[in-house]
A and B are shown apart, each in its own frame.
Chain A
Amino acid sequence: MTTTATLENPPTTDNPVFSVDGLWKVFGPKADRVPEDAELSALDPADLRARTGCTAAVRDVSFDVRKGEVFVVMGLSGSGKSTLVRCLTRLIEPTAGTICIDGEDVRAMDKARLRELRRHRAAMVFQHFGLLPHRTVLDNVAYGLEIQGMGKAERRARAAEVVTKVGLEGMEQRKPSQLSGGQQQRVGLARALAVDPQVLLFDEPFSALDPLIRRDMQEEVVRLHREEGRTMVFITHDLSEALKLGDRIALMRDGKVVQLGTPEEIVGSPADGYVREFVRDVPREHVMTVRRAMKPGDCAGPAHPGGLAPDAVVADAIKVVAGSGRPACVVENGRCLGVVDHERLLGVVAGTELRGGAAGTEPRKEAV
């Protein structure tokens, strides 16, 4: 296997919130030697296990999480994604590599500093909620503030605000056991939001929920992100969830990142057979944008029929083109970037559009 993480390094003005470089987490006896030894670190999981009794959950992973983006880590169970997110705040101690938050080395932090990081800078939402069963909703939400030493009245007032924000007003005095799964996860989300963290970490937060509730919760996250623009790291095994929420997606397999890019890049240009197999059934017209589907070049007309934004997905363009019966223009800032017609759009749906035709896609505009 070759490491095919397509690391893109776009020129960004902001410093990344999280910067992870060469991160390893190896479980087992004398785990330290594995990342150091070039031969051992090249072994595949089964051989490594046979040779050393160790399991490498995270293998040489590097990425940056930019300010304000939703960064999704996606992979099947056992791919190391949950270990990875726990390494970010050292809930699991990494074996090798560096992690920086705002330029500060997380692995060098002492206990007090690390607590400070967990209390104020990164809060996590868990798959099975992790609520304290003996506390009310309000006190669960206020828990993070309580351990920071905030007074009772103040933290309850703050918690009540957050409870309202996640749509649980009226349930403040209930116990977690009296709530549905979706409501419990709202409490988990509120607890993380209450401490006003710089980054929210989600560890498969919705996989224990029913499909309909899951969709509600995903929309809740999209809404929160739109309103607050908070940086989020989101772990999931659900591809459609990843595509729906992610500004960028890191796809993991056996502890390695096999591809890192926008949803469109992952679906449009899979890095290898594994990724291609993975995204085969994705409804491409809901992911690919017209920027990628269009035939570049000005339509040279004044009217710009259709008037699609470059970030519009192909499914929207199909509606416009099918409705009007003629090609539509892609317009940005009053300038026509290109034209999409039946042939181009069908090519996207069928997965036969010209690769490289739109290879120069710039990364999606970052959310503010």
Chain B
Amino acid sequence: MATVTASTPRALPTGLLKHRAVHKLLLIALAAAVLVPLANARWASGSWPAALTVDLTKPLTSASDWIINNRDSHPLFLYFFGYVSNAVVISVHAVYVVLLGAGWAGVTALGALVAWRVAGVRLALGTTAAFLACGLLGMWVPTMQTLALMVVAVLASVVVGVLLGLAAGLSRRMDKILRPVLDTMQVMPAYAYLLPVVLVFGMGVPAAVLATVVYAAPPMARLTALGLQGADKEVLEAVESLGTTARQRLLTARIPLARKELMLGLNQTIMMALSMAVIASVIGAAGLGDRVYQALASVDVGAALAAGIPIVLLAVVLDRVTGAAGDGTEGQGRAGWAYALAGTVVVAVAGRLLGRLDWPDAWTLNIAEPVNRAVDWMTAHLYSGVPVVGGTADWAGHFTTWVLDPVRTGLQGLPWWSVLLIVATLAWLIGTWRTALTAVLAMAAIGVLGVWTPALDTLSQVLAAVAVTLVLGFATAVAAARSDRVERLLRPVLDVFQTMPQFVYLIPVVALFGVGRAPAAAAAVVYALPAVVRITTQGLRQVDPAAMESSRSLGATSWQQLRQVQLPLARPALLLAVNQGVVLVLAVVVIGGLVGGGALGYDTVFGLAQGDLATGLVAGAAIVCLGLVLDRVTQPTERRTGKGA
């Protein structure tokens, strides 16, 4: 009962916590003492009281019916969404036709030459190898479908992002309005964006492209604004002192000075667009993601891997090439680009003349069967009964029964008001009363939406996965921070893992652990781990060397150093790592609905698959709320104020 909060202040030695924290706790305890008996008397129930839910199924179903019925007649659709939708379809199709028209040789040559101009010979070779591998795996056409969708989505995202970023970077007021919106969009799981666009556009390419734009434009906008605001004040002053007009300042100074951020924004937008373009297969985008989706649906790991490898290759190549464009010096003259273009045209024409536009069937390598044989072998030999260590399926089973189930039962067993109380306490202790209020309202909204039980199920998976992520992540990070060798070994691994789209992580975990909640959690751990390790390592390494040196000179052991100097000084980084870990884990746990994760993620997929948009939308909204709660509960105040400055 109220012990959760009442006992906390007593248990804490007063000297340990700052006075303010105790103050907050007392206030919350006081509020709880008044509100809890009231709430308990009125709506005494363990789960969220039915009296406090609002059933949105009917209005949502009728809204979606109305949209479906009016899609072809209502002026809003005819003259706005219709045009948007047509424009998207036409442009994606046009890009697709051009890519196919250039033939596999032309596209490969174009990719390689662009990589050569931007990033040098090594990446050009890597790009060639990646494209050829896509062909070899028999995935040329899906790769081109994904690329066509990406090209359109990235262009649109960049335009939208730059415009928003310019507005926020140049006007203080716009910045104030846009910043919290973009901040929040950044922490939303990709999954949550799918349903609203489906509601308006229906399943298909337009919805996929628009969901991608909505997901991928925020980083461009944020980084554009950041670059514009971060410009060297004295350079701007010097430029102004020479009598520039506002436009000249923007074009000759502010935008060039923000080049690094703009390129980083482009890089992030491309990576997020790829990630989303793959996930959008759930709402009818053809391409690589669709192949993975279909294969996972029938637990055909071999086929999923054949489509998954091109995704990973595409991700790595795109990331490296755009990343190199960011740090490299500017283009070394136009002649090189002209050669590159000419080379592409020559190769494309040659391919056409030779009648070799499509990837030759004879050159494909069927990896699905051998992989599936290997998986079968694994199922037979590694799943269970391996002496001493047990099998992978056993691990998954143990994890489910010993960790996931108790956490879920515990969470669902908690009285609903105590969950709110815990959320409020955590959010207030770590942030301001405003973050606490947002968190509590978001949590309550989940209850009101009537998805309290599945949401707590999702939450239990998130908590378990976050705990595993943090233990593994902090341990790895401490090792990497203490030894250069470990860090050198780790860096390329982290680089690759961080560029991969969320979807891809499902393939190996299904192979290893089958389907269910444990593999979903495992995929989430793998996805979130690199970010946690990286942020923590950086935080530990950036600890003031003078402080480290002075503690060493006092004769501290390395354990004392870690505990008394490094960890306390790296606290902001650790908190950020927790925050990122939670946000990333949630993003994958809900996708885990595809491989038997159940709960909110499954409701969303189910809603999409059955055309039952009401269920899906409610689940999507609950995911958004859960994302808000988790972000606010783990978001230290410093980060907010730091950004506001």
Residue among A126, A132, A148, A195 with the highest chain B CB neighbour number at 10 A: A132
What residues of A have a CB within 8 angstroms of the CB of B232 in the complex? 128, 130
Query: Residue B468 at the A interface, CB < 8 A?
Result: no
Query: Residue A144 at the B interface, CB < 8 A?
Result: yes
Query: Residue B252 at the A interface, CB < 8 A?
Result: yes
Q: Are A131 and B235 in contact (CB under 8 A)?
A: yes
Query: Residue B243 at the A interface, CB < 8 A?
Result: yes
Q: Are A147 and B244 in contact (CB under 8 A)?
A: yes
CA distance A127 to B243 in the complex (A): 19
A91 in contact with B241 given A134-B256, A134-B259 (CB within 8 Å):
yes
- The smallest beta-carbon distance between B90 and chain A, in angstroms, is 37
Q: A119-B243, A188-B238 are in contact. List 16 more A-B contacts (CB 8 A).
A: A86-B237, A89-B241, A91-B240, A115-B243, A115-B245, A116-B243, A117-B243, A118-B242, A124-B238, A126-B241, A127-B234, A129-B234, A130-B234, A132-B235, A133-B235, A191-B238
Query: Residue A138 at the B interface, CB < 8 A?
Result: no
Query: Residue B239 at the A interface, CB < 8 A?
Result: yes
- The smallest beta-carbon distance between B259 and chain A, in angstroms, is 7
Query: Residue B257 at the A interface, CB < 8 A?
Result: yes
Chain A residue with Cβ nearest B240: A91
A144 in contact with B242 given A91-B237, A130-B232 (CB within 8 Å):
yes
CA distance A116 to B243 in the complex (A): 7
- The smallest beta-carbon distance between A196 and chain B, in angstroms, is 13
Q: Are B244 and A124 in contact (CB under 8 A)?
A: no
What residues of B have a CB within 8 angstroms of the CB of A119 in the complex? 242-243
Chain A to chain B contacts (Cβ below 8 Å), 27 pairs: A91-B237, A91-B240, A91-B241, A115-B245, A117-B243, A118-B240, A118-B241, A119-B242, A119-B243, A120-B243, A123-B242, A124-B238, A124-B241, A126-B237, A127-B234, A130-B232, A130-B238, A132-B239, A132-B253, A134-B256, A134-B330, A143-B242, A144-B242, A144-B243, A147-B244, A148-B243, A201-B241
State which residues 45-84 of A face B: CB under 8 Å.
Answer: none
What residues of B have a CB within 8 angstroms of the CB of A133 in the complex? 235, 257
**What size tier do the contact residues of chain A reach?**
20 to 34
What residues of B have a CB within 8 angstroms of the CB of A147 in the complex? 242-245, 248, 252
CA distance A275 to B237 in the complex (A): 32
What residues of A have a CB within 8 angstroms of the CB of B239 in the complex? 130, 132, 143
What residues of A have a CB within 8 angstroms of the CB of B245 in the complex? 115, 147
State which residues 556-602 of B face A: CB under 8 Å.
Answer: none
Residue among B235, B241, B259, B330 with the highest chain A CB neighbour number at 10 A: B241
Q: Are B252 and A132 in contact (CB under 8 A)?
A: yes
Contact partner of B242 (CB less than 8 A), chosen from A128, A134, A195, is: A195
CA distance A200 to B237 in the complex (A): 15
Chain B residue with Cβ nearest A127: B234
- The smallest beta-carbon distance between B329 and chain A, in angstroms, is 8
What residues of B have a CB within 8 angstroms of the CB of A124 in the complex? 238, 241
CA distance A115 to B242 in the complex (A): 8
What residues of A have a CB within 8 angstroms of the CB of B248 in the complex? 147
Closest 3 CB pairs of A and B: A130-B238, A119-B243, A118-B243
CA distance A91 to B244 in the complex (A): 12
- The smallest beta-carbon distance between B251 and chain A, in angstroms, is 10
CA distance A146 to B256 in the complex (A): 16
Interface size in chain B (residues, C-beta < 8 A):
19
- The smallest beta-carbon distance between B327 and chain A, in angstroms, is 13
- The smallest beta-carbon distance between B231 and chain A, in angstroms, is 11
Contact partner of A130 (CB less than 8 A), chosen from B235, B259, B330, is: B235
- The smallest beta-carbon distance between B569 and chain A, in angstroms, is 30
A126 in contact with B256 given A115-B243, A134-B330, A147-B242 (CB within 8 Å):
no
Chain A residue with Cβ nearest B246: A111
- The smallest beta-carbon distance between A251 and chain B, in angstroms, is 25
CA distance A86 to B243 in the complex (A): 13
CA distance A133 to B234 in the complex (A): 12
CA distance A86 to B235 in the complex (A): 14
- The smallest beta-carbon distance between B253 and chain A, in angstroms, is 6
Q: Are A143 and B252 in contact (CB under 8 A)?
A: yes
Chain B residue with Cβ nearest A128: B234
CA distance A146 to B244 in the complex (A): 10
What residues of B have a CB within 8 angstroms of the CB of A114 in the complex? 243
CA distance A114 to B245 in the complex (A): 11
- The smallest beta-carbon distance between B262 and chain A, in angstroms, is 12
What residues of B have a CB within 8 angstroms of the CB of A144 in the complex? 242-243
CA distance A188 to B234 in the complex (A): 12
Bits for A166-208, please: 1 = Cβ < 8 Å to B, else 0: 0000000000000000000000100100010000010000000
A132 in contact with B257 given A123-B241, A147-B252 (CB within 8 Å):
yes
Chain B residue with Cβ nearest A118: B243
- The smallest beta-carbon distance between B269 and chain A, in angstroms, is 22
Q: Are B240 and A132 in contact (CB under 8 A)?
A: no
State which residues 219-270 of B face A: CB under 8 Å.
Answer: 232, 234-235, 237-245, 248, 252-253, 256-257, 259
State which residues 118-165 of A face B: CB under 8 Å.
Answer: 118-120, 123-124, 126-134, 143-144, 146-148
CA distance A128 to B233 in the complex (A): 10
CA distance A191 to B243 in the complex (A): 13
Chain A residue with Cβ nearest B238: A130
Chain A residue with Cβ nearest B235: A130
What residues of A have a CB within 8 angstroms of the CB of B240 in the complex? 91, 118
What residues of B have a CB within 8 angstroms of the CB of A131 in the complex? 235, 238
What residues of B have a CB within 8 angstroms of the CB of A86 in the complex? 237
CA distance A117 to B238 in the complex (A): 14
- The smallest beta-carbon distance between B471 and chain A, in angstroms, is 43
Q: Are A134 and B238 in contact (CB under 8 A)?
A: no
CA distance A124 to B256 in the complex (A): 22
Q: Are A126 and B257 in contact (CB under 8 A)?
A: no
- The smallest beta-carbon distance between B515 and chain A, in angstroms, is 53
CA distance A321 to B562 in the complex (A): 71
Chain B residue with Cβ nearest A146: B252
CA distance A128 to B232 in the complex (A): 10
- The smallest beta-carbon distance between B234 and chain A, in angstroms, is 4
- The smallest beta-carbon distance between B99 and chain A, in angstroms, is 33
Q: Are A126 and B234 in contact (CB under 8 A)?
A: yes
CA distance A50 to B241 in the complex (A): 34
Chain B residue with Cβ nearest A92: B237
- The smallest beta-carbon distance between A114 and chain B, in angstroms, is 8
CA distance A91 to B237 in the complex (A): 7
What residues of B have a CB within 8 angstroms of the CB of A134 in the complex? 256-257, 259, 330
CA distance A130 to B256 in the complex (A): 14
What residues of A have a CB within 8 angstroms of the CB of B244 in the complex? 115, 147
Chain B residue with Cβ nearest A119: B243
Chain A residue with Cβ nearest B248: A147
- The smallest beta-carbon distance between B16 and chain A, in angstroms, is 37
CA distance A353 to B78 in the complex (A): 96
Chain A residue with Cβ nearest B253: A132
- The smallest beta-carbon distance between B20 and chain A, in angstroms, is 26
CA distance A186 to B242 in the complex (A): 17
CA distance A144 to B240 in the complex (A): 10
CA distance A180 to B518 in the complex (A): 59
Chain B residue with Cβ nearest A175: B329
- The smallest beta-carbon distance between B642 and chain A, in angstroms, is 24
What residues of B have a CB within 8 angstroms of the CB of A195 in the complex? 242
- The smallest beta-carbon distance between B447 and chain A, in angstroms, is 45
- The smallest beta-carbon distance between B333 and chain A, in angstroms, is 13
CA distance A127 to B235 in the complex (A): 11
- The smallest beta-carbon distance between A342 and chain B, in angstroms, is 51
What residues of B have a CB within 8 angstroms of the CB of A118 in the complex? 240-243
Residue among B237, B238, B253, B256 with the highest chain A CB neighbour number at 10 A: B238
